[in-house]
Structure 1
Amino acid sequence: MNTMLPTSTFVPRLIPRLISIAAAALLSACTLGPDYAGPPDVAPHATQNGHFLRGGDAVQTQASQLNNWWEGLSDPLLNELVQRALVANPNLNVAKARLQQSRAALNLEKANAMPTASGSALYAHAKLPPLSSGGSSTTLNLYNLGFDASWEADIFGANKRSIQAARATSEAAEASLADVQVSLAAEVANAYISLRDRQQRIALGDQSIAAQEKMIALARQRLERGTASNLDILRLQNQLEGTRADLTPLSAEMESYLNQLATLVGEEPGALDDKLNAAAPLPLPPAAVAVGDPTELLRHRPDIRAAERTLAADTAKIGQAEAARYPSLKLFGVIGLGGTHASDLTNLDDFATILAPMLSWNFLDFGRNAARVTQSEEVRNEAEMKYRQTVLEALRDAEDSLSRFRHGRITVATLARNKVSADQALDLAQQRYRAGTTTFIDVLDTTRQQLSAQQNLLQAEANLTRSFVAIQKALGLGWNS
């Protein structure tokens, strides 16, 4: 006994009709919602000028060919730290995981556009009560193998728009990963620069302490000969204690940057102490920097690309919302084999088939779908405004960093000349003091001025290198696919 629906003349007549319905649905299919036409032109004047405004002679107009820009600082240890961070930094791995999630979501949307199919197997044993008082109970075995499939025709492009949105979202996640790489490389470089700056300032402080201790020893000798006073010695000692006090916060900051660099490369605090404790010169940037033009920045900077891809995704989602306002057509099919005996499962001439279309339309929703469309349109408008803001802020970052770099070079040159003068003044004051033609106050003031000149020059050099790093970050350099 076959418990499935019999295949008679009903199915042969139904199949051509279902095929005709599906073909008509596909032929009449359309894609609702706006087609994405690219991002708006946010900064026409910047791209038409073809160059940045604030760089001056400190920059070159050709595009940078060094994506690993930190190599331009010629510091092998910095190169190693950046490469380690780009492999093991936890925040970077979080962005990688989000990229994999978005790619999986794209694959899911592609799969949702395809038919779904499933199989089933059933065995049932039933014991039925007698139909009359004198009758006996009846047992029944049921065997069945079934296969069913379904597919929703994409009449109004909902699946197409969902795939477009998922693909753009995946590309936005890829750009966001690149943006994390850009920020991470800059953060490592800035922490390294600050570490070397503090180490150099501590070294200068130690040199100043040694010089001041020698001056105190000399002053005591002069006191014994009656050519100096206790007041002179007290003033020198006060200056010495002040210099020592200034070193304490510098040491704390140095240890903080050691900890920061360790965590940036995915290590625990203290893991890099042996490698970085020894003082090293501050890395200095090249004399001129290749920056390209604003158009190159708009193409290369990851956060701009992420904002543009988000705008594309939100544009596609409008079509998804529009398609939900119209009817949907689903096609169902079932094939089954079975009967009351296990041998019935092998009887391929006796099977049941069901093919059926289902048309559904939620036409009375009291404006719900219309509200969803409006919501999607406003989300897309918000994405466009965010894209515009991202572009403007990127251009401002580039111009600000170029301006700081240009003026920073002037500052370094000025302070370098000032330090040379301060060195000469200190040497002359010490000679006059040993000859007895000047006072301790003059030597004390000259020493303070020379130390201040050294500190100012070192700080200006560190700021100049940070400006170089800021330029590379503003240009969106430092990422690899």
Structure 2
Amino acid sequence: MSAYLFRPRLLTLSLAPLLLAPLLLEGCTTVGPDWHGAPVAAPQADARGQFLRAPADADADAPAAHWWEALGDPALNDLETRALAGSPDLAAAQARIANATAALRSARSALAPKVGVGAVAGEVTLPGALLGRDGRLSEQVYGDNLQASWEPDLFGANHRRIEAARDRAEASEASAADVAVALSAQVAQAYVQMRAEQANAALLAQQVAIDRQLLDAANGRFSGGTVGAQAIDSARATLAQSESDLADSRAQIVALADQLAVLIGSEPGTLDALTVQTAPIPEVPAHVAVGDPARLMRHRPDIRAAERQLAAATADVGARMADRFPSVSFTGILGLGSTDLGGAFSPSTLIGLIVPQIKWNAFDGGRAAALVKSARSARDEAEANYRSRVLAALDDAEGALVRFGTQRIALGKAVEQREAAAHLAGLQATRAAGGTLSRADALSADRQALRAQLGTVTARARLTGDFIAVEKALGLGWDRVDLGK
């Protein structure tokens, strides 16, 4: 075969126009709905400027991300830092961010020309009639080439897909921040419960000691004939219940320590030292920052994630609409070819080819229209999800605030009850010392004082837990993922 078949004189064109085309057509238009921000899902709350259930002395400033530092507990601060650095759940959320970011880079690559290299070696057999000869001609052919292709984004389909990918990447960041919010609250709740159980266990141990003394007193009174066997049975049952409560409390301490270990990404048993190192229940700060509904709707992570998903769905509609328009593409080849291996690298065998192409699925049986309709429906669903998330967040915040305010009152009443019971126990002890009251009656008063202290521990733990719930419901400090670094 003659080598001139691989050197067509009319096709020795440069690929420069193809590589410069993106610069020449950079001002391509886009179609479909543009994103102008999420609709106000709760206009009354937005206009009101404050939460309905916020305490009268609440601080209008937005809460900080590291809200637990306001509790003033170094051990809790350390656990939160370790959880944000080592939690598997947060690591999974970070992996989702990386995946979404990679998808964004992939979407952006669609705007650039595709350039590649290739090589060919083989045997070509052609009918001789094509060259005015008899029979068939067979030749070995060799070639190498530079290939380039580009499709200008005339109607913005790729730009809208990039927009959607960027929105989803931002949604994944907001979702990771939401994981961090939930994680920090779980760590704090488990820590507070563990400290409360430690306080309970200490008081229950005292209660067991009192119940044993009451059982001894009942045995003595039975021996003296002043009470029947029923008093002994009652005292024994009370002691058994107290011992059971103490065992349950100690088991709960270990279980909560293991829960904390898992939350920070460690094995159960890692934090056993915490079970023997007692500390008071963290107390809430005197003033609590709650912000306002408008700030919550703009910054709470799960709302931001829903808003970004809505923005992405809006961009998807534009991409589907743009797909209905014609598309133009350019393919270029610049290569060397010959019938012998040495000639495959000779400049004299240069081949140049540029092929423009236009495609338009004018008749596709309604597929493109159906895809646009599906994208619009997905956008409507995303908007409904966004509105639902806003309303649920407001309900969460208002509920947490009212429980926090009510529990502050409950704690005050529990403290009053504890003080009254302690005062009564002191009076009964004085009477017993003076011989005007039996030792058993004085012990019963001491037991009632311990029960009041247990009630105070429960009320204080609930108040701190409700403060944690308020901070979780507001979640305003987490504009981006915070790993505690």
**1:234 and 1:432 mapped to 2: Cα distance?**
27
- Structure 1 counterpart of 2:91: 93
> Is it true that 1:122 corresponds to 2:120 in the alignment?
yes
Contact 2:310–2:383 (8 Å) recurs in 1:
yes
Aligned residue for 1:36?
A: 35
Question: Relative to structure 1, is the Cα distance of residues 233 and 346 closer, same or farther in structure 2, using a 3 angstrom cutoff?
Answer: closer
1: CA distance between counterparts of 2:262 and 2:376? Answer: 42
Q: How far apart, CA to CA, are the structure 2 residues paired with 1:417 and 1:217?
A: 31
Per-residue deviation, 1:340 = 1.9
Counterpart position of 2:105: 107
1:261-410 correspondence to structure 2 within 5 Å: 261-410=260-409
Q: 1:252: Cα distance to partner?
A: 2.9
Q: Is the 8 A contact 2:11 2:351 kept in 1?
A: no
Find the counterpart in structure 1 of residue 168 from structure 2: 169
Rounded to whole Å, the distance in 2 between the matches of 1:24 and 1:282 is: 65
Amino acid paired to 2:9: S
1:235 Cα deviation (Å)?
3.8
Change (3 A) 1:118 1:10: closer
Distance change (3 Å), C-alpha of 1:440 and 1:186: same
The 2-side partners of 1:422 and 1:15 are apart by: 94
Deviates more, 1:368-377 or 1:398-407: 398-407
Distance in 2, matches of 1:368 and 1:305, equals 33
Say which is worse superposed, 191-200 or 307-316, in terms of deviation: 191-200
The residue type equivalent to 2:53 in the other structure is: R
2:9 corresponds in structure 1 to: 8
Q: Distance in 2 between the 1:207 and 1:24 partners?
A: 82
- 8 A contact 2:197–2:253 mirrored in 1: yes
Mean alpha-carbon deviation: is it higher for 137-146 or for 450-459?
137-146
Q: Which whole-Å CA distance do the structure 2 matches of 1:146 and 1:61 have between them? A: 67
Q: Flag structure 1 segments of 5+ consecutive residues without an equivalent.
A: 131-136
**How much does 1:350 deviate?**
3.3
Contact (CA 8 Å) 1:186, 1:469: kept in 2 or not? yes
Query: Whole-Å Cα distance in 1 between the matches of residues 171 and 137 of structure 2?
Result: 66
What secondary structure, in the 3-state scheme, does the structure 2 residue paired with 1:289 have? coil
In structure 2, the CA distance between the partners of 1:325 and 1:428, relative to structure 1 (3 Å rule), is same
Instruction: State the match for 1:259 in structure 2.
Output: 258
**Deviation for aligned residue 1:412:** 0.6
Give the corresponding residue for 1:460: 459
Is the partner of 2:3 in helix, strand or coil? coil
Matches of residues 12-31 of structure 1 in structure 2 within 5 Å?
Answer: 26=25, 29-31=28-30
TM-score (norm. length: structure 2): 0.89
Give, in angstroms, the shift of residue 223 of structure 1. Answer: 6.7
- For residues 348-404 of structure 1, give each alpha carbon's deviation from its aligned partner in whole angstroms, at most 9, with x where no partner exists: 243111111111122221111111111100100111111111111111111111111
Is 1:75 the counterpart of 2:76? The answer is: no
Query: RMSD of the TM alignment (CA)?
Result: 3.2
Compared with structure 1, are the counterparts of its residues 144 and 15 closer, same or farther at alpha carbon in structure 2 (3 Å cutoff)?
Answer: closer
Shift of 1:280: 2.0
Name the counterpart of 1:147: 146
Q: Which amino acid aligns with 1:331?
A: F
How far off its partner does 1:233 sit?
4.8
- Is the contact made by 1:58 and 1:405 (CA closer than 8 Å) also made in structure 2? no
The equivalent of 2:132 in structure 1 is none
Residues 197, 188 of structure 1: alpha-carbon distance in 2 compared, 3 angstrom cutoff: same
Matched residue type, 2:362: F
Q: Report the equivalent of 1:134.
A: none
SS across alignment from 2:40 = coil
Which sits farther off after the overlay, 188-197 or 1-10? Answer: 1-10
Change (3 A) 1:86 1:24: closer
Deviating more after overlay: 407-416 vs 215-224 = 215-224
C-alpha distance after superposition, 1:423-454 (max 9, x if no partner): 11223234434545446785575445323322
Instruction: Specify the SS of the correspondent of 2:269.
Output: coil
The CA distance in 2 between the partners of 1:418 and 1:27, in whole Å, is 76
Percent sequence identity over aligned pairs: 39
Aligned pair in 2 of structure 1 residues 138, 310: CA closer, same or farther (>3 Å)?
Answer: closer
Tell me how far apart the structure 1 counterparts of residues 151 and 3 of structure 2 sit (CA, whole Å).
30
- What is the Cα deviation at residue 250 of structure 1? 2.2
- 1:200-215 equivalences under 5 Å are 200-215=199-214
Q: How many residues align?
A: 474
Alignment of 1:219-234 (within 5 A): 232-234=231-233
1:247 aligns with 2:242: no
The answer (yes or no) to whether the contact 2:62–2:289 under 8 Å persists in 1 is: yes
Q: Which moved more, 1:371-380 or 1:427-436?
A: 427-436
8 A contact 1:182–1:478 mirrored in 2:
no
Q: Which residue of 1 aligns with 2:61?
A: 62
CA deviations on 1:292-314 (whole Å, 9 max, x unpaired) are 22222222211111111101100
Return the alpha-carbon distance in structure 2 between the equivalents of residues 221 and 47 of structure 1: 70
Task: Return the offset for 1:474.
Answer: 1.3
Q: Which runs of 5+ in 2 are unaligned?
A: 129-135
Structure-2 residue corresponding to 1:449: 448
- What amino acid does structure 1 have at the position aligned with 2:116? S
Please name the residue that 1:133 is paired with: none
Q: What's 2:133 paired with?
A: none
- Is 2:15–2:332's contact at 8 Å kept on the other side of the alignment? no
Question: Aligned AA for 2:7?
Answer: P
Tell me if structure 1 keeps the 8 A contact 2:104–2:165.
yes
Counterpart CA distance in 2 for 1:139 and 1:367 is: 49
Measure the CA separation in 2 of the matches of 1:3 and 1:184: 72
**Contact 1:304/1:391, CA 8 A, preserved across alignment:** yes
1:197-225 CA-to-partner distances (Å, cap 9, x unmatched) read 11111111001112333444556667777
Bigger mean CA offset, 227-236 vs 147-156: 227-236
Question: What's the TM-score once normalised by structure 1's chain length?
Answer: 0.89
**Cα distance change of structure 1 residues 181 and 15 upon mapping to structure 2, 3 Å threshold:** closer
How far apart are the structure 2 equivalents of 1:158 and 1:234?
83
Report the residue type matching 2:375 in the other structure. Answer: S
CA contact 1:232–1:441 (8 Å) conserved in 2: no
Q: Could you tell me how far apart the structure 1 residues matched to 2:474 and 2:4 are? A: 71
